[in-house]
Structures are given as structure tokens and as C-alpha cells.
A and B are shown apart, each in its own frame.
Chain A
Amino acid sequence: MINHHLSDEMILAYAAGALSEGQAMVVHCHLEYCDHCAARLREAEALGGALLEELDVPTLTSLDFDDMFAKIEVSEEMQEPLSMETSDTLQERATPAMLRNILGHGIEDVKWKRVGPGIRQYVLPLDLQEGENVRLLRLSPGFVTPMHTHRGSEMTLVLQGSFCDETGRYAVGDIQDADGDLDHQPVADTDVDCICLAVTTAPLQFRGLIGKLMQPLVGI
């Protein structure tokens, strides 16, 4: 049961193809868990389709149907037929398919790096726009993240365990979209390690001595 969903703005931006790569990736992973948001996405895409139909109709200058069709027929002979296979459900896989494709394996085989007592991370090898970062975070049960705020935004998807902060409790499949206004201190609150996929668009601002010491280690 998912309790924390994507905002309408995120759904709209994803439907329009306007999100940054890191954000789009994390949104996609949440959609794999969440039928509710997937249905809302289709709603937003239907909006895109309706807007497309309403556009004016300029004439085509060089594109011609028959030329195009001839090219398609030629390439058709070399194409392999489209595969229609279906894969397992997320419950059976534990790792979202999108993430598995990037990692090449599931979250159980991640090579974690320790960044402090009770916190490990793995930065995804993606070529992102400047300032953006996608990482897996692994918090030991009871780990309290130092109080921090965000200059940009931070979107966090829970893959295992759960955490809670001032805004509520986040379990598997839940997504938190924190912007510059949120000043929070997430705590891993179950007896298994809490594993999250997080995208940040600008470095987090840690507060307090422990946080300041951790800043260079986390490198967020």
C-alpha cells in the first residue's frame, strides 16, 4: 500500500518529457510500484494527446508519405519482430526494472561505500546534468540523518525498510519530494536496513556539527 505519491507537477513534467534524467529515472521507478500514479500519468499523457490534436496543421515541406513508406519497407526486412514477452512483477524482483537495468543486478548486490556510522551509499554511474546526483542510500535501523535542508530538490524513493520524518512515515514504494522549504531529519525506523533511491539537484545543506563533518563524506 503506497501512501506517499508524486505531485501533479511531477506527473505533468514527466508526461511532457521535461524532467531531468535523474528525476525522470526516480519517477519511473516509483511508477513501477504505484498503479495510482501510473493512472495519473496516463491522464496527463491523454492531456498531451488532446493538445496535440488541437494544434494547427502546417504543410510538410520535404517529408512525403510514399518516400517514407518505401524506406520503412526496406528496413522492415532487416528488423527483428517486436518481442511481446512480459517480465516478472516488481514483488518478485524487489528492484525496479529501470534500476536493475542501470546497475546490472539487484539491490542485494550493490557495492556499498561507508560514509559514516550507520550510513552507506552508492552513487549511480550516470552522466547527469551539473549538480544532479542519483544515489542509493542504506541506513542502519535507528540511524538518524543529521538535520538538513535543501538548496534544490531532493526526491527519495524507498526500496526496502522505511524511514520517518516530520512529514510522515515512508515505506516501500513511497516517494518523498522535498524542496528548499523542507528542513528535516529522517530516521530509519524498522529493524531492517532502509534502502532508498534519491535524486538531488543541488547539494544538501547539513546543519549542526555532525552534519558539517559528514558533508564532505556524503558528498551530496
Chain B
Amino acid sequence: MEVKGIWITENISDPKKGMDRKRSEFMRRVYKIMKKVQLEAGQLKGGQDLTADQLNDLLVTLGKKRCKSSFRTLFDFYAPRLKSFFLKVGTTEEIAEELIQETFVQIWRKAQTYDPSKAASSTWIFTIARNRRIDRFRSEKSYIFEDDSYLHKHLVMEESQSQSVFEKEIGHKMHKALARLPANQSEIIKMSFFQDLSHGEIAECLSLPLGTVKSRIRLAFKQLRSILAELDQ
């Protein structure tokens, strides 16, 4: 599938070139069909190779045009990862898949509020998934996280343009930054996100004093910020 995809882009990128009108019309049609096949090929692959920018664009297109094929591509990319996430935080397989569905219902409904200058699609989708989980297991707390976009809508307005650009970039660079974090720091960050443990419980789990867990988190954020700043230059 992948090889076919490359062939299509390289060979049919300019159907008009050096062709008579009739032929070019034919080729344009072929090009259109091939493009569609190529798109579907990408979808079948589960979107493994999508870049952060492509994912953001898909979400924007979904919001603007209610585009089913963008929605499907996002589903193929994020649904398995969300399953991993929900399983890690301790749900059963059945509930994990229910939560994925709930997350995608929200994505469909709220895509129009997504602003790629403020957050990467992964960030935006993560917060929706997190909120669905809270809603399911601690419904008494769900009102706090109810309005996903509240903080984004109301608090970001004050900030300068440059700050927003920086934040957009953050999502893209976070992977690199994470990889450069010392293992004992990234371990605690991952546990915080994926094991539904308080920092006190993480301390117990790792047989560390709570103060050490806290100082590692602070160190991790300090390092992440300096790595991100370095990547910016």
C-alpha cells in the first residue's frame, strides 16, 4: 500500500503536462480516482505515518466541513491509542471501547471549536479522553472538567500571538523532549498520566519519599522547558 501511494503522488501529480486536451481530461479523471484510492490506502494503514500537522489539518477539516473521511482517518489513528490509554488507567476492554466511542462523539460534536494555533490535535483529543474517563468513574467531579474548551476559550485570549505559536509547536516537539528526559523523571510523568495514582501513591509504589517524587516532577518540567526552548532555536 505504501509503495503504491508514493507511486501515485510522483507520477500523477501533474496530469496536464505534455498531453493533449482529451488525454489530459482522461488523466484528470484517473488522477481523481487514484487520489481517492491513495487516500483509502492511507486509511487502511491505520494512519500510522501521519504527521502532527496532518492530524491537526484533519481535525480542522472535520470541524469546518463535517468531513466523514477525515473523521475516519482520525479514528483509525487515535482509537487504538485511546484503547491503550483507557486500558492503562485500569478500565476493562469493554468499557475502554465505550469510552473511545464517547470520546469520538465529543470530537465530532466539538471539532468546530478546535483551534490549531492553540493546541496540537493530540493535546485536544487527550483532554477530551481524560474528561470522558473522569465523567465515567468520578461523575461527582465531572462538572469541573465538563466544558473541555472553557479554559482554552476564556483564558487564552489575553495572551500574545507569539505565546500561541509557541504552544502550537509544543505538541510537535514534546516527543523529542520526552525522549531526552532522564528515565527516573519520565517514569513518574508516565505514571501520573497512565496509572491513575496520586503522587503519594506513586511514592509508595516506587518506595520513594513523597518529597523525592515532587522534586523529580519539578525537575522534569524544568528540563522539558529548557529542552523545548533549545529545540526552538
Q: Do A and B bind each other?
A: yes
Size bin of chain A's contact surface: 35 or more
* Surface stretch bound by A, among B20-28, B31-39, B213-221: B213-221
Check B123 against A42 for contact (C-beta < 8 Å): yes
Distance of A49 Cα from B121 Cα, bound (Å): 8
Distance of A98 Cα from B196 Cα, bound (Å): 24
Residues of A within 8 A of B108 (CB): 72
Q: Flag A34-48 by CB within 8 Å of B: 1 or 0 each.
A: 010011011111111
In this complex, the member of A11, A12, A63 whose beta carbon has the largest number of chain B beta carbons within 10 angstroms is A63
B84, closest chain A residue (CB) = A55
* Surface stretch bound by B, among A82-90, A112-120, A183-191: A82-90
Check A49 against B174 for contact (C-beta < 8 Å): yes
Distance of A6 Cα from B163 Cα, bound (Å): 20
Distance of A50 Cα from B193 Cα, bound (Å): 11
Whether A167 sits at the interface, judged by CB under 8 Å, is no
Check A31 against B155 for contact (C-beta < 8 Å): yes
Q: Give the contacting residue for A58; candidates B87, B94, B218; CB below 8 A.
A: B87
Check B151 against A57 for contact (C-beta < 8 Å): no
Check B221 against A18 for contact (C-beta < 8 Å): no
Q: Give the contacting residue for B178; candidates A47, A75, A126; CB below 8 A.
A: A47
Check A56 against B189 for contact (C-beta < 8 Å): no
Q: Give the contacting residue for B113; candidates A38, A59, A84; CB below 8 A.
A: A84
Check B199 against A9 for contact (C-beta < 8 Å): yes
Size bin of chain B's contact surface: 35 or more
Check B83 against A60 for contact (C-beta < 8 Å): yes
Residues of A within 8 A of B189 (CB): 12, 47, 51
Whether B64 sits at the interface, judged by CB under 8 Å, is no
A128, closest chain B residue (CB) = B140
Residues of B within 8 A of A101 (CB): 143
In this complex, the member of A28, A42, A56, A101 whose beta carbon has the largest number of chain B beta carbons within 10 angstroms is A42
Q: Please judge, given known A-B contacts A46-B119, A53-B122, A82-B109, whether A9 and B144 are in contact too, CB under 8 Å.
A: no
Chain A residues proximal to chain B, CB less than 8 Å: 7-9, 11-13, 15-18, 20-21, 24-25, 28, 31-32, 35, 38-39, 41-63, 65, 68-69, 71-72, 75, 79, 82, 84, 86-87, 89, 97-98, 101, 126-128
Can you add 16 more A-B contacts, CB < 8 Å, to A82-B113, A98-B144?
A: A17-B134, A24-B144, A28-B144, A31-B155, A43-B167, A47-B174, A50-B174, A52-B78, A55-B88, A56-B81, A60-B97, A63-B79, A63-B101, A68-B75, A82-B112, A128-B140
